[in-house]
Structure 1
């Protein structure tokens, strides 16, 4: 039996607002908008998308799962995403980390990495 990753699901208070933020970050689009779920992705037939589902309770602690973004230019990408509404957060990463930790408009942490050539190797800069 084969299985593949279909959606990453993100709990949200403002489903469409958070979906639109991530569409701008990833250059994706809203694929489906319903009262209790909004799905985004590069296109309808992509292998994986993000689904935003409603949640009532506020976020209290650091995410146990987060996105890692790997741009060509870390500094420029951080500035672009900050201009879209993200904010810098300190989760104890320190000044020597190869990544920058940001939070989306609802406080979900994510990282902007140094450029990478594979899932396990950083590109020499």
Structure 2
């Protein structure tokens, strides 16, 4: 039986605000919006998506699942995301070639360095 990866669900204090932030960060579009959830995708017909819904509890610990982004220019992308409202995050990563950031609600994600050959 084939299976398709539909979306990743993200609990959020304000799903509308966080979905819009991630849509801008990734160049995605909003494909569904309701009172308590918003889904974004690269294009309306392209899976997977990110579905932001109301989370019952505030975020208090490091995420167990996170997104890795690999831009052409790590330094420029980190600067762009920080200017959008992300912040540098220390999760004990020490000296690594990626930068850990947190979105406006504190969800960690990584901005990787340029791909190695």
Normalising by structure 1, report the TM-score. 0.90
Gaps spanning 5+ residues in structure 1: where?
117-121
Instruction: Kindly state the Cα deviation for residue 32 of structure 1 after the two structures are TM-superposed.
Output: 0.8
Task: Please name the residue that 1:108 is paired with.
Answer: 107
RMSD: 0.9
3-state SS of 1:71 partner: coil
Say whether the 8 Å CA contact 2:29–2:44 is kept in structure 1: no
Alignment of 1:76-87 (within 5 A): 76-87=76-87
The structure 1 segments of at least 4 consecutive aligned residues displaced by more than 2 Å after TM superposition are: none
Task: Please name the residue that 1:50 is paired with.
Answer: 50
Task: Please name the residue that 1:63 is paired with.
Answer: 63
Cα deviation digits, residues 14-34 of structure 1 (max 9, x gap)? 111000110111011111110
- Across the two proteins, how many residue pairs are aligned to each other? 117
Gaps spanning 5+ residues in structure 2: where?
none
3-state SS of 1:22 partner: helix
Cα deviation digits, residues 57-77 of structure 1 (max 9, x gap)? 111110000000000000000
Normalising by structure 2, report the TM-score. 0.96
Instruction: Kindly state the Cα deviation for residue 36 of structure 1 after the two structures are TM-superposed.
Output: 2.0
